[in-house]
Amino acid sequence: MFPYIPATEESKKKMLEDVGLNSVEDLFKDISHKVRLKGELNIPKHKSELEVSSYIKKLGKMNETTEDYTCFLGCGAYDHYIPSVVDAVISRSEYYTAYTPYQAEIAQGTLQTIFEFQSMMAGLTGMDVCNASVYDGSTAVYEAAYVAVASNRRKEVLISKSVHPEYRKVLKASLGAANIKYIEIEIKEGTTDLDDLKEKLTKDVSAVIVQSPNFFGLIEEVEEVVKESHENKSLVVMSTDPISLGLLKTPGEMGVDIAIGEAQALGIPLSFGGPYLGFITTTKALLRKVPGRLVGMTKDVDGKRGFVLTLQTREQHIRREKSISNICTNQALNATAATVYLSLMGKEGMKEVAKQNYDKAHYAHEQLISTGMFEDSWEKPFFKEFTLKYKGNLKALKEKLEENKILGGFHPKEDYQALENHLIIAVTEKRSKEEVDQLCTIVKEVE
């Protein structure tokens, strides 16, 4: 943001007159006095730009990031390598806005990046169609549920407890508002309990939602879920880590109806929880039910290539009364970042980064088990993330790791009471052998 924003008393007065108000206070009159600040803000006045800039920078330096720590944290937000070209491209002024275009055909460059994003994400997931992105991974879950409900008109949605807990909370709140029944499927040995799924599959079930690799990092038996669900004429929604698709079977190959997920791993930095990037890919049969927009490529009357908004069947600005989708400030800049990342990596690059994630995670898993202080929570296949049970004092271990500038994994007890002394550990391509070995050395020291 530009640091100097002039607003003279005269300009303030003019703006207030234009909106028919007498004072700045009138702008906030709709907010209850119970929650409004009484009096002036407790901040010093008359600081110079230099003083303010210095103070804010000092505050900013109090933050610590993954630049300062070795990060083994994951659970939906990952410390992946971002090629410097990504920032160089998205920093160009013609791209540097979060807004999706409203005079779209004028912004041919933006439309082309959305077209490329859609094309590459569809290719990566093995699906027919991808939308122009949604807010984040949790948004994608409930938008996908609405696609299913709009398609088969059933009023129940099943979701596995191995799906990210925050995604489930968002889905539950959203479905409740729409009078759609939210039902959870139990987990067994860290993955979706297929017997519980079969029991809960009724003729009212619109969609079954699973995540693979799931919240614990384990690879689910998605094809079995698809088989059981399709026999019941229910749709299957699969949330996935796009990096994993460089190595694992794609949702399309497994017969999934809607593949969704969080695309932060594709060139978007960790930034205190967002903004991130949700994606939705699906089959041609569900083309007209997807939220947001689809961009197509065409030719103009002179035969020149051009890009146009082709479909936007659920958008609020064309179906204001009937729309159930509101995709405005949709982090389009993050979709552009993901597009640049995917174009740089290519098919071989995606395979390589996926393989590095897999190999390094399995090396870390093997080394941590060999310390004698961990045991597998469940012995099942995993990709770049795994869950272990710690045999010692977990609080003491985490404190020791933090003293050594290591974020040693996520403790899932708050959402899974049975996992009292467990850690979910993520290992991306950024982690070196030396960093993994240092983690194991500190584990032994705490022992």
CA distance linking residue 413 with residue 361, whole number of Å: 22
Q: Cis ω on the peptide bond leading into residue 251 (within 30° of 0)?
A: no
The pTM is what? 0.88
CA distance linking residue 353 with residue 348, whole number of Å: 9
For 294, phi then psi, to 5°, come to -120, 130
Q: How many of the other CB atoms lie within 10 Å of CB of 334?
A: 26
pLDDT of residue 317: 62
pLDDT-based confidence at residue 439 (cuts at 50, 70, 90):
very high
Q: Which amino acid would we find at residue 336?
A: T
Give the H or E element holding residue 280: strand 278-282
pLDDT-based confidence at residue 40 (cuts at 50, 70, 90):
confident
CA distance linking residue 397 with residue 445, whole number of Å: 9
Start-to-end CA span in the chain (Å): 49
Please say if the pLDDT value at position 403 is more than 90: yes
pLDDT-based confidence at residue 318 (cuts at 50, 70, 90):
low
pLDDT of residue 57: 94
Scanning 61-164, the segments in alpha helix (DSSP H) are 84-90, 108-125, 137-152
pLDDT in tens, 251-271: 999 999 999 999 999 999 998
Q: Cis ω on the peptide bond leading into residue 213 (within 30° of 0)?
A: yes
Structure tokens at 90: 């998205």
Q: What is the set of domains in the chain, with CATH numbers?
A: 9-58 (no CATH), 70-80+347-445 (3.90.1150.10), 84-342 (3.40.640.10)
Interacting residues of 199 by C-beta distance below 8 A, sequence separation 6+: none
pLDDT of residue 103: 67
